[in-house]
A and B are shown apart, each in its own frame.
Chain A
């Protein structure tokens, strides 16, 4: 079945460092891909998305490119801030599904130190 694998955390960075969180997926066809962010004690927020190969999603300085050849959707940010500390989830959905179900990775905790 479909699945999403993220790099294990926690990822600890200093402020202004470059961030990469790896995400790879296994799926048939052409799924849509998402990154969600969860701040402590809160629900998940949609960070960015991409719906077809070579699409680049971007938001708040974060970017991810849908790479079908490597089945990847790595999250990047050029300069992280302390306020970016959170748990990041990669997810996919099948366009053919009428239920809109998402398959999530296990989440990666990011800690940014001043």
Chain B
């Protein structure tokens, strides 16, 4: 069976500090991968998606970047965090050509 992991689960970082959130998927190969942000009381905003190693598409201009160094690893980064980067970050995967997505447990980021 497939599982998706995210870490850390929670993170408190000062403004201006760097960020690295990691997502890994087990039990499948060549998945499509997605990063979402969910602000408090809000819906989901798609940040990045990837259909293969090294292939990253950005949905919105922002302070964040994403990378996919391995087939089942997806990393969300920032060089300098802003207060507005606070939120709940969700990673998801789907099989290529099949559109249902499966979500990880999320990372709660608080920028202080």
Contact = CB atoms under 8 A, between A and B. Distances in A.
Given A100-B99, A102-B99, A43 B104 contact: yes
B103 interface: yes
Contact of A101 (B46, B97, B108): B46
B90 interface: yes
Contacts of A25: none
Contact of A42 (B43, B51, B101, B105): B105
Contacts of A44: 44, 90, 92, 103
Given A97-B99, A99-B57, A107-B43, A43 B51 contact: no
Contacts of A104: 43-44
Nearest to B97: A98
Interface of A: 32, 34, 36, 41-46, 49, 89, 93-95, 97-102, 104-107
B100 A89 contact: no
A38 to B, nearest CB: 9
B17 interface: no
Nearest to B51: A99
B101 A100 contact: yes
Contacts of A45: 103
A41 B99 CA distance: 24
B97 A106 contact: no
Interface in B6-47: 6, 32, 34, 42-44, 46
